[in-house]
Amino acid sequence: MSRQTLSFLFLAGAVVFLLLAVATLVPFPSTTISDLGYYTLCPFAPWSTLMLLFGAGVSWALRRHIASQGG
């Protein structure tokens, strides 16, 4: 797998993680209240949001590392 392809996959992963993190905070009619104090799409918000943002950060860092290797 080429560096360019791998870099693109990590970028796509970071974007997906970021979009999912935002989606966990969207107000949504559900049966349980999140720790934020309102009904969200994900009842584990903000903890799930933080984990998804961490995943996006790791993916972005790996992409930057691959890009810095040259080639």
According to DSSP, residue 26 is labeled S
Dihedral (CA of 22, 26, 31, 32) sign: positive
User: Taking a C-beta distance cutoff of 8 angstroms, is the pair 28, 39 a contact?
Assistant: yes
Q: Please list the alpha-helical segments (H only) found in 1-71.
A: 3-23, 47-68
Strand, helix or coil for residue 40:
strand
| pLDDT tens, residue by residue, 10-31 | 999 999 999 999 999 999 998 8
The encoded tokens of residue 66 equal 């691959």
Count how many domains the chain has.
1
- Domain carrying residue 17: 3-68
pTM above 0.85, yes or no: yes
Tens digit of each residue's pLDDT (9 = 90 or more) over 24-61: 999 999 888 999 899 998 889 899 999 999 999 999 99
| SS3 (DSSP) at 38 | coil
